[in-house]
Amino acid sequence: MDKIDLYQIHFPSVLVFWDGLADCFDQGLVKAVGVSNYGSEAVRAISRTLAARGIPLTSNQIQYSLVYRFPELNGMKATCDELGVKILAYSPLGLGALTGKWTETSLPEGPRGQIATKLLKDPNWSLLLDAMKDVAKQHGADTTLSQVAIAWCIAKGTTPIPGVRNVRQAEDNIRAISLALTGNEVAALDAAAAKVAPYIEPTASPFNNLRQSFDTKQAMYEA
């Protein structure tokens, strides 16, 4: 390709790359620039820096799903919406949990097994899956929970990027593009999701330390 569609910084700690992003944009190497795992203050800071060169910050790729709603609760989503920065929602299926296929007798391998065990112990987890099944039923027999989880992200104005391991999953998930949830359906899913204990606290996320490190460096950078 002649131009990369979107050039993103993966982590918030690497301030030195900001001018590099802008240089790539100005030289016509990329069509748009974005970031990933940035907090609200970091998004505001890089938006200001890019705006000074007449370049929009296009996106912030962050974890966001029915089982990880912190961007709604901590102001991150509101900041992106206010600044016109598109949220690319990663892990929109909760690493697979929101497909509804994890059960006591069918646990995923590796670290996801611990997440599954935690969720399956939470009585509100099965109530969330029930709420998703109710929504799926309203949209036809072929509607899956994966599609509902992805459609919820779309209904919130984000662009979800689900991972897939095979063609069947890809064909399943892509059908979410034409699944438009009603306001009542989104509200019902929100209410059920709000009761589920999160599978990871932001304070336990390695990205949180990077954000704190960013806040310190940002003050130095802007001084």
Ligand X SMILES: NC(=O)c1ccc[n+]([C@@H]2O[C@H](COP(=O)([O-])OP(=O)(O)OC[C@H]3O[C@@H](n4cnc5c(N)ncnc54)[C@H](OP(=O)(O)O)[C@@H]3O)[C@@H](O)[C@H]2O)c1
Please state the φ and ψ torsions of residue 107, each to the nearest 5 degrees.
-90, 145
Binding test (CB under 6 A) with ligand X, winner from 35, 94, 152, 176: 94
Is there a contact between 193 and 92 (Cβ–Cβ < 8 Å)? no
The verdict on 165 binding ligand X (CB under 6 A) reads: yes
Binding test (CB under 6 A) with ligand X, winner from 169, 205, 208, 218: 169
Which x/- pattern over 26-45 shows residues binding ligand X (rule: CB under 6 A)?
----------xx--------
Burial bucket for residue 99 (CB in 10 Å: 0-12, 13-18, 19+): buried
The verdict on 92 binding ligand X (CB under 6 A) reads: yes
Nearer to ligand X, 58 or 91 (CB): 91
Please state the φ and ψ torsions of residue 33, each to the nearest 5 degrees.
-125, 150
The verdict on 206 binding ligand X (CB under 6 A) reads: no
Is there a contact between 85 and 130 (Cβ–Cβ < 8 Å)? no
Total residues at the site for ligand X (CB under 6 A)? 23
Nearer to ligand X, 2 or 168 (CB): 168
End-to-end, the C-alpha distance of the chain in Å comes to 39
Which x/- pattern over 3-22 shows residues binding ligand X (rule: CB under 6 A)?
-------x------------
Is there a contact between 192 and 127 (Cβ–Cβ < 8 Å)? yes
The verdict on 172 binding ligand X (CB under 6 A) reads: yes
Minimum distance from residue 9 beta carbon to ligand X (Å): 10
Q: ∠ at Cα 34 (31, 35), nearest 5°? A: 160
The verdict on 59 binding ligand X (CB under 6 A) reads: no
Binding test (CB under 6 A) with ligand X, winner from 146, 148, 158, 214: 146
The verdict on 60 binding ligand X (CB under 6 A) reads: no
From 22-30, 117-125, 158-166, 194-202, give the range in contact with ligand X by CB under 6 A: 158-166
The verdict on 174 binding ligand X (CB under 6 A) reads: no
Please give the Cα distance from 30 to 4 (Å, whole number). Answer: 5
The verdict on 210 binding ligand X (CB under 6 A) reads: no
Please give the Cα distance from 84 to 34 (Å, whole number). Answer: 12
**Residue written as token pair 């089982």:** 67
Dihedral angle, C-alpha 207, 211, 213, 219, nearest 10 °: 160
Residues near ligand X, by CB under 6 A:
10, 36-37, 61, 90-96, 99, 101, 108, 146, 161-165, 169, 172-173
